[in-house]
Structure formats: structure tokens, C-alpha cells
Amino acid sequence: MALVVAGLVVLDCAEPEKLAAFYRELLDAEETDASANRVEIRGADGMRMAFRRDANATPPSWPRPENSLQVHLDFVVEDLDAAERRVVALGGRPLEAKDAPGPFEERGCADPAGHSFTLLRTPAIAPKRG
């Protein structure tokens, strides 16, 4: 067995219940554990996240260059427009409006607490030639 086993991504926020609900809907996830200060979810693909209460949590100020990203999540999607609409409908917001050209198009977004993440378009895979 490995010395260290992968755990889960934990985001600090003022209202873990609300942020967990955002990601639960976005990732088609289920709540796996909850306490007064922490909520955990597991996405349909097995991704695990937790949201820890921190009354003094402040969102990162990305994309301002003088501050670090702090944490960054990438979510692979088939349809960027549909995924971005879903983010906005759930209370998130786009961070930038320009599309990146090429097979790895992406869009920056923020969850309702201000944590940034990227929606990455699933690259088309050409069929094998025999």
C-alpha cells in the first residue's frame, strides 16, 4: 500500500452548506458526510471534495497578477457554452469572456464563494486508422 493515499480537495468558505450544494449540482454529486463545520461530497466520477467553514475566508482575487491563484480546479466538459450556463444558473460566474482557440478551449469561472476553476473542452479524438 502507498505511504500516502490521495484524499480530497478541501475549500475553505464562510458557508460550506451553500458551496457544497453548488458543487453537488455541478458535478452530479452526492453528499457523503456533514458536520457543523464541514460538508463532503463525491462526484459521479468519484471525485471527492469537502468544504470547511472559515468565518474569515476571503476569495482569491485572481486574475489580478499581484495575487496567487491559491487553488485551481479543472473540469472537463463536452459543451463549454452549456457548462458555463449551468455554472451561472447555480450561482457561479464567468471570470473571463474570451475563448481560447484550438483543441483545448477553456473558460475561467468562479464558484459562489469566489474560488476559481476552469472548464476545459473535451478534445475531439480522431478515429484510429488501420
In terms of Cα–Cα distance, which of 43, 16, 41 is closest to 27? 43
| Each residue's pLDDT tens digit, 36-51 | 999 999 998 899 999 9
Strands (E), 1-130: 9-13, 30-34, 38-42, 48-53, 73-77, 93-94, 106-110, 116-121
Read off the pTM: 0.73
pLDDT score of 83: 92
Q: What is the pLDDT of residue 37?
A: 94
Per the structure block, which three cell numbers stand in for 2? 502507498
Report the pLDDT value the prediction gives residue 41, as an integer from 0 to 100: 97
Between CA 107 and CA 117, with CA 112 as vertex, the angle to 5 degrees is: 30
Question: To the nearest 10°, the Cα dihedral for 95, 16, 82, 65?
Answer: 20
Contact 116, 110 (CB under 8 A): yes
Question: What superfamily would CATH give domain 9-121?
Answer: 2,3-Dihydroxybiphenyl 1,2-Dioxygenase, domain 1 (3.10.180.10)
The confidence score (pLDDT) of residue 31 equals 96
The pLDDT tens digits for 69-90 are 566 788 889 888 999 999 999 9
103 class by beta-carbon count within 10 Å (0-12 exposed, 13-18 middle, 19+ buried): exposed
All residue ranges of the chain with pLDDT < 70 are 1-6, 61-71, 97-104, 123-130
What does the pLDDT read at residue 49?
A: 95
pLDDT of amino acid 24: 97
